[in-house]
């Protein structure tokens, strides 16, 4: 029976409070229930009312009605403290798997309104209390633990208030339509793959590649089949012997972080190693590119390039980048 009621309640919450980048709390989105203190006070009012009936004491009746009126007025003030509040999702900071993703929210209310003791929380996670007294807007950050790489969609946020007396609890849910990136866990620096090291050394050596077309590399004796365009006619005029110009290119200094160069078992292990290589190359201010199955990011450097590479690693096999 409890599971059925819980299921109906969840469906009602989803209908009333759909995911949105911005949510404004109104009458249809706010729930309010008496607190334990209010229930105890109601029990006391019942006892007093029975005593008043038994002794026919009008003063006891007056106290009972005064306490009931106080509870009703408190409920209205508690509801008003939450009503009209606007919650906007601003940004989720990227993080590595296992770390906490930080969600930034903006709370706002209408001019001439004030909000007191607003509590925002995730169950068993972060908690924050906000007051909107001197300003109509405030920024608040909540952090939530992440478990795996990919896109992190924050669960619904519980927002509540006990203001002004704590006799009632007004609360609602906020489901923000925003997601953040969770990068793979970077491998420890000591576990750098030897094959990747060898590739880096080759790419940084700047060695000559014969048969190029850019830089003049000298002359050699003419061989049958050499193109006349490369014959060194000046040398022929001096010596009477045919010689051919030789041109060379140089290996690129760009570092390629290649999925296929990693001799590691498992997708996550390779992504973890590539993540470490991206961080190390960025810290060394080196120009680097990234090759994944179906994804090629040309060599570059800088914060934007690092973010693009880490995003490719985070979303690999999850969705198209």
Instruction: Give the model confidence (pLDDT) of 215-247 as tens digits.
Output: 566 777 877 767 777 787 777 777 878 878 776
Lowest mean pLDDT among 12-16, 46-50, 178-182, 275-279: 12-16
| 110-154 pLDDT, tens digit each | 888 899 999 999 988 999 999 998 888 999 999 999 999 999 999
Give the pLDDT mean for 264-282.
93
Nearest CA to 98 out of 143, 51, 158 is that of: 143
- Sketch the domain layout of the chain as residue ranges: 1-183, 184-207+252-321, 216-250
Residue that the structure tokens 């706002």 belong to: 108
Over residues 28-56, the mean pLDDT reads: 90
**pTM listed for this prediction:** 0.74
Average pLDDT, the chain: 85
Whole-number pLDDT of residue 205: 44
Q: Alpha-carbon distance 228 to 316, whole Å?
A: 51
Is residue 199 very low, low, confident or very high in pLDDT (cuts 50, 70, 90)? very low
């Amino acid at each position: 029976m409890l599971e059925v009621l819980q299921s109906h309640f969840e469906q009602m919450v989803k209908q009333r409070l759909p995911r949105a980048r911005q949510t404004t709390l109104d009458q249809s989105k706010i729930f309010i229930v008496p607190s334990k203190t209010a229930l105890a006070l109601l029990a006391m009012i019942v006892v007093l009312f029975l005593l008043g009936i038994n002794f026919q004491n009008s003063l006891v009746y007056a106290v009972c009605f005064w306490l009931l009126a106080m509870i009703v007025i408190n409920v209205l003030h508690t509801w008003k403290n939450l009503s009209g509040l606007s919650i906007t999702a601003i940004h989720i900071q990227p993080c590595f798997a296992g770390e906490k993703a930080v969600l930034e929210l903006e709370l706002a209310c209408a001019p001439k309104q004030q909000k007191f003791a607003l509590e925002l929380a995730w169950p068993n996670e972060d908690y924050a209390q906000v007051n909107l007294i001197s300003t109509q807007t405030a920024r608040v950050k909540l952090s939530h633990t992440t478990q795996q790489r990919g896109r992190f969609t924050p669960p619904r946020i519980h927002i509540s208030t006990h203001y002004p007396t704590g006799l009632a609890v007004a609360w609602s849910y906020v489901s923000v339509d925003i997601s953040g990136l969770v990068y793979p866990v970077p491998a420890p620096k000591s576990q750098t793959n030897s094959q990747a090291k060898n590739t880096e050394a080759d790419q940084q050596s700047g060695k000559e590649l014969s048969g190029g077309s850019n830089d003049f590399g000298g002359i050699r004796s003419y061989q049958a089949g050499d193109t006349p365009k490369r014959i060194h006619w000046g040398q022929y005029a001096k010596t009477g012997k045919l010689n051919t110009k030789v041109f060379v290119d140089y290996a690129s200094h760009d570092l390629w972080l290649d999925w296929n160069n990693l001799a590691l078992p498992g997708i996550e292990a390779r992504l973890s190693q590539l993540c470490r290589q991206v961080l190390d190359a960025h810290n060394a201010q080196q120009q680097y590119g990234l090759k994944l199955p179906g994804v090629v990011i040309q060599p570059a450097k800088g914060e934007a390039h690092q973010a693009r590479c880490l995003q490719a690693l985070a979303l690999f096999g999850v969705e198209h980048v």
